[in-house]
Structure 1
Amino acid sequence: MTAAMASWKQQVLQRGASLYVGDLDPEVTETDLRAAFYHVCPISSLRLCRCRLTGKSLCYAYVNLYSHAQASRALGLLNHTNLKGKPMRIMWCQRDPFARKTGFANLFVKNLDFSISSSCLESIFSKYGTILSCKVAGENGRNKGFGFVQFESQDSALAAQTALHDTMLGGKKLVSSTICINLLICHFMYLMIEQLHFYLRHVCKFVKKTERTAAAPCEVFTNLYVKNLDETITEDGLKDMFSVVGDVSSVAIMMDHEGKSKHFGFVNFKSPDDAKKAVDIMNGSVVGSKTLFVGKAQRKSERTMILKQEYKDLQIRSAEKLRASNLYVKNLNVDIDDKKLKDVFSAYGKILSVKVICHNDGTSKQFGFVCFASPAEANKALVALNGALLEGKILHVAKAQWKKDHHQEWHNFSGQNQPQSFYPSNCTTVSSAIHPLHFNFDRSTHLPFLHHPMFCQHFGAHFGVQQHVCYYHSKTFALT
């Protein structure tokens, strides 16, 4: 046995008998897992990881068996088998997180045929070395056309990448009908389907998503989404329309079950530059009686993420506008109600709401809120009415604040202006009868006794002698 083989065997034996089981269905329970493994070998223990707050499954588990041989048997027989409709991804439990976090010996494989499963992909790559993990990405039960293969060694990964990059997978002609179906119902995969031609064409080193985003900030795309199409436009007409910009490889207009246009479709260019140019030229153009929208074709997950972000931004903008348009009014006369307050403030703009806050018995708490339609109108009322006299009371008008912001502002103010007591450094003994207090105050703080004589106790050589002085220096005064 060679030294390399001995080293590999030692690494295998060090794994013990613990397996990681991932990609589980959310409904899978400990009982389901135990039953699945029971038919292969007995289980020492298992742990289905759950959320601490909700108790819901995190869709992965750890299974401990009695021996390494039993674990190897379970891995070989149960890996990629279905449990409650989803294939389990089983691998050796890796206690060292280095391989997981660095992408060591991990390959990214794209342009896969939609018929290729995780087990099929593993069988293709397994001839080049020991595979730790293999997964074909899926969404809603469908192959997304790419996957990941992680080898035990970097040499195996390099050998697989060199051998399989740009190679053709033979014997896949039976999938052509499936491609036609996918072309109709998976329009966001249209470009990938057009480029497949049953090739496993791209095998490269796995790169983290954050690194991919940083390395490729400029978005590259060739597939365009076109909506608001006139129902009379055909695919040939749509192709002729966009061919003016550049070479078009394919065009599809989505139809309903009656064969009528759904008024949107997809145009795939051969060049990303032509696709970007088409967006700039064709987006917003008028064709017949319709104004076209032309943009990058996006997956449903991408659109959902963008819509969530837009909704979040809209909420933030609405909250900021509401905060800038809402006024806090205090020192009201007890006879002022909502109607009277609205009559006073309505002269400065459109009012959305007015509320005078009252006690449980209905008597006014002498403050309220006025919300205008715009921040400009609120500012106009603030300038005009702050300090104005209303039924014998001088109004105080200010921008309304959320309670949490008000507490935070008060906390910050208190922290900046809190007095700090101290004693001189040469003071070793302090008499209880004469106990000086020294404070630091901000210069802006009002000092009512600044111009009046005070007693100041000096320490050191003249300790115990009182002098009639006023002392103020470097933001410090002393009071005894």
Structure 2
Amino acid sequence: MTAAMASWKQQVLQRGASLYVGDLDPEVTETDLRAAFYHVCPISSLRLCRCRLTGKSLCYAYVNLYSHAQASRALGLLNHTNLKGKPMRIMWCQRDPFARKTGFANLFVKNLDFSISSSCLESIFSKYGTILSCKVAGENGRNKGFGFVQFESQDSALAAQTALHDTMLGGKKLHVCKFVKKTERTAAAPCEVFTNLYVKNLDETITEDGLKDMFSVVGDVSSVAIMMDHEGKSKHFGFVNFKSPDDAKKAVDIMNGSVVGSKTLFVGKAQRKSERTMILKQEYKDLQIRIAEKLRASNLYVKNLNVDIDDKKLKDVFSAYGKILSVKVICHNDGTSKQFGFVCFASPAEANKALVALNGALLEGKILHVAKAQWKKDHHQEWHNFSGQNQPQSFYPSNCTTVSSAIHPLHFNFDHSPLLPFLHHPMFCQHFGVQHPFMAQNYQQNFSTHVRLYFHSAMSF
């Protein structure tokens, strides 16, 4: 923990010219961000982060400026300003996740008046030290009554907590405490207690009295409600509130999955909107992972493309081997090809067929390299394992017939020859390929050692 904290403090002292821009409206584009920053200072580059499967905005971005002074100016002028109706939250970009994961110098502020904005909260807390991030939680443009303030140092956070806890702001008494991660709060919390149940898939003929009678068999019911539309017709779901948590839990066990009329009931704890949102986000994340894993074996990485090869040409070449779901040639910002891309087939068998047929094939003067694509985290791990386990000991062979090296595998571009003793000197060149978002699994082609031969007189093999 001490080492991580030292690393975090070092990053704070060595801020560059990169900013994190969060809480963006889903409709905000790269063009919108450039326009917002253009009036303050020129942008070196920016990246709006998107879902790798759907392409939808993840509502945050990274903006690189040309100097620390420009970044500081942009932070001061644009933080908490509106972009497409939502205030942007801008802070210094920190690569070290220490503060985010530990809640270092982060305060939780609740019981805020609905008129308090993020900029207002920051101006109040900034008297006690440098603030890295400040946010008042909101929904549909309205303050939810709580927020977060993260300071640069623990001392500043403690000073603000001591000074502002239980003080009045906008007619309400503030509650200021150290931020605790949700996982830690959940672990410390007692067993879940609830009395209100959500009941769905109700038959349209069921009335509130009928629903109450149905659940009263389990225990004392304090209230019942069936949701209706604007015409007074049932929406087929409602709520049943018990007096006792034990009865509520028993009702879930007994009534969930039971058949009433022609309908199978769903009965569970009535959840707040925030709880439902969290569950839906997790389900969506799990779905993304399942889809990604399904497509993983069908996705090919293709490199050494001719600069003239675009998506259409690449698809035409690979479509002979099966149904293609997507094709993408990766390009620079100016639209020129980076000479690599990805082809995703409908099935792993089709992908394997294309890999075998086209790996090493000649396409418009270039020899293609085709391999199974990998996620960035996977090829980083493989590179870490490779570099850790295979440290080079020596690039020079002990004699002309034996090659010994810790690098694996080694490939030399010459055969054994009686001319070898007459070499002036061999020059060994280690080539580790090009870093890409996906790295080929075939290290035999990605990691190779090439030997160029120099002679006193002109010779050729």
Interval containing the TM-score (normalised by the shorter chain): 0.3 to 0.5
Cα deviation, 1:302-336, whole Å, max 9, x if unaligned, reads 76997999999999999999999999999999999
Residue 338 to residue 254, structure 1, CA distance change in 2 (3 Å): closer
Residue 255 to residue 448, structure 1, CA distance change in 2 (3 Å): farther
Q: Which whole-Å CA distance do the structure 2 matches of 1:368 and 1:322 have between them?
A: 16
Task: Specify the SS of the correspondent of 1:28.
Answer: coil
What's the CA shift for 1:32?
Answer: 2.4
Task: Specify the SS of the correspondent of 2:293.
Answer: helix
Q: Which whole-Å CA distance do the structure 2 matches of 1:307 and 1:45 have between them?
A: 33
Residue 325 to residue 274, structure 1, CA distance change in 2 (3 Å): farther
Q: Paired residues, what number?
A: 448
Residue 292 to residue 159, structure 1, CA distance change in 2 (3 Å): farther
Relative to structure 2, which stretch is displaced further, 432-441 or 119-128?
A: 432-441
Residue 76 to residue 266, structure 1, CA distance change in 2 (3 Å): farther
Relative to structure 2, which stretch is displaced further, 128-137 or 41-50?
A: 41-50
What's the CA shift for 1:33?
Answer: 2.0
For normalisation by structure 1, the TM-score amounts to 0.44
Task: Specify the SS of the correspondent of 2:412.
Answer: strand
Cα deviation, 1:35-79, whole Å, max 9, x if unaligned, reads 212323444554545678998765433334566565444323322
What's the CA shift for 1:106?
Answer: 2.0
What's the CA shift for 1:432?
Answer: 28
What's the CA shift for 1:153?
Answer: 2.8
Cα deviation, 1:258-296, whole Å, max 9, x if unaligned, reads 233323223456875564344346656798998754311
Cα deviation, 1:313-361, whole Å, max 9, x if unaligned, reads 9999999999999999999999999999999999999999999999999
Q: Which whole-Å CA distance do the structure 2 matches of 1:380 and 1:399 have between them?
A: 12
* Cα contact 2:79–2:89 (8 A) shared by 1: yes
Residue 270 to residue 149, structure 1, CA distance change in 2 (3 Å): farther
Q: Which whole-Å CA distance do the structure 2 matches of 1:77 and 1:117 have between them?
A: 16
Q: Which whole-Å CA distance do the structure 1 matches of 2:379 and 2:189 have between them?
A: 43
What's the CA shift for 1:131?
Answer: 2.6
Relative to structure 2, which stretch is displaced further, 238-247 or 319-328?
A: 319-328
What's the CA shift for 1:104?
Answer: 0.5
What's the CA shift for 1:249?
Answer: 8.1
Matched, 1:334 2:316: no
Number of the residue aligned with 2:206: 233
* Cα contact 2:395–2:428 (8 A) shared by 1: no
Residue 103 to residue 441, structure 1, CA distance change in 2 (3 Å): same
Task: Specify the SS of the correspondent of 2:394.
Answer: coil
Task: Specify the SS of the correspondent of 2:353.
Answer: helix
Q: Which whole-Å CA distance do the structure 2 matches of 1:358 and 1:66 have between them?
A: 23
* Cα contact 2:50–2:56 (8 A) shared by 1: yes
1:432 to 405, 409, 422: 405
2:281 to 308, 312, 335: 308
Number of the residue aligned with 1:158: 158
Larger radius of gyration: 1
Q: Which whole-Å CA distance do the structure 1 matches of 2:34 and 2:250 have between them?
A: 57
Q: Which whole-Å CA distance do the structure 2 matches of 1:71 and 1:463 have between them?
A: 39
* Cα contact 2:392–2:407 (8 A) shared by 1: no
Cα deviation, 1:5-30, whole Å, max 9, x if unaligned, reads 99999998753554221233455444
Relative to structure 2, which stretch is displaced further, 128-137 or 468-477?
A: 468-477
For normalisation by structure 2, the TM-score amounts to 0.45
Q: Which whole-Å CA distance do the structure 2 matches of 1:137 and 1:80 have between them?
A: 13
* Cα contact 1:103–1:206 (8 A) shared by 2: yes
* Cα contact 1:422–1:437 (8 A) shared by 2: no
* Cα contact 2:135–2:149 (8 A) shared by 1: yes
Residue 166 to residue 258, structure 1, CA distance change in 2 (3 Å): farther
CA RMSD of aligned residues (A): 15.5
Relative to structure 2, which stretch is displaced further, 92-101 or 358-367?
A: 358-367
* Cα contact 1:421–1:439 (8 A) shared by 2: no
Residue 291 to residue 365, structure 1, CA distance change in 2 (3 Å): same
Q: Which whole-Å CA distance do the structure 2 matches of 1:10 and 1:432 have between them?
A: 39
What's the CA shift for 1:81?
Answer: 2.2
Relative to structure 2, which stretch is displaced further, 56-65 or 28-37?
A: 56-65
Residue 268 to residue 330, structure 1, CA distance change in 2 (3 Å): same
What's the CA shift for 1:99?
Answer: 1.5
* Cα contact 1:321–1:374 (8 A) shared by 2: no
* Cα contact 2:80–2:118 (8 A) shared by 1: yes
Q: Which whole-Å CA distance do the structure 2 matches of 1:432 and 1:313 have between them?
A: 44
Q: Which whole-Å CA distance do the structure 2 matches of 1:304 and 1:207 have between them?
A: 20
* Cα contact 1:417–1:441 (8 A) shared by 2: no
Number of the residue aligned with 2:393: 420
Residue 143 to residue 396, structure 1, CA distance change in 2 (3 Å): closer
Relative to structure 2, which stretch is displaced further, 352-361 or 317-326?
A: 352-361
What's the CA shift for 1:90?
Answer: 0.2
Relative to structure 2, which stretch is displaced further, 264-273 or 422-431?
A: 422-431
Relative to structure 2, which stretch is displaced further, 120-129 or 97-106?
A: 120-129
Number of the residue aligned with 2:292: 319
Residue 145 to residue 446, structure 1, CA distance change in 2 (3 Å): farther
What's the CA shift for 1:31?
Answer: 3.4
Residue 339 to residue 52, structure 1, CA distance change in 2 (3 Å): closer
Cα deviation, 1:181-200, whole Å, max 9, x if unaligned, reads xxxxxxxxxxxxxxxxxxxx
Residue 27 to residue 443, structure 1, CA distance change in 2 (3 Å): same
* Cα contact 1:226–1:264 (8 A) shared by 2: yes
* Cα contact 1:437–1:478 (8 A) shared by 2: no
Q: Which whole-Å CA distance do the structure 1 matches of 2:447 and 2:115 have between them?
A: 95
* Cα contact 1:342–1:354 (8 A) shared by 2: yes
Structure 2: tracts of 5 or more residues without a match: 434-445
* Cα contact 1:438–1:476 (8 A) shared by 2: no
Q: Which whole-Å CA distance do the structure 1 matches of 2:410 and 2:4 have between them?
A: 79
Q: Which whole-Å CA distance do the structure 2 matches of 1:98 and 1:307 have between them?
A: 27
* Cα contact 2:397–2:403 (8 A) shared by 1: no
Q: Which whole-Å CA distance do the structure 2 matches of 1:68 and 1:345 have between them?
A: 47
Residue 416 to residue 444, structure 1, CA distance change in 2 (3 Å): farther
What's the CA shift for 1:457?
Answer: 45
What's the CA shift for 1:150?
Answer: 1.8
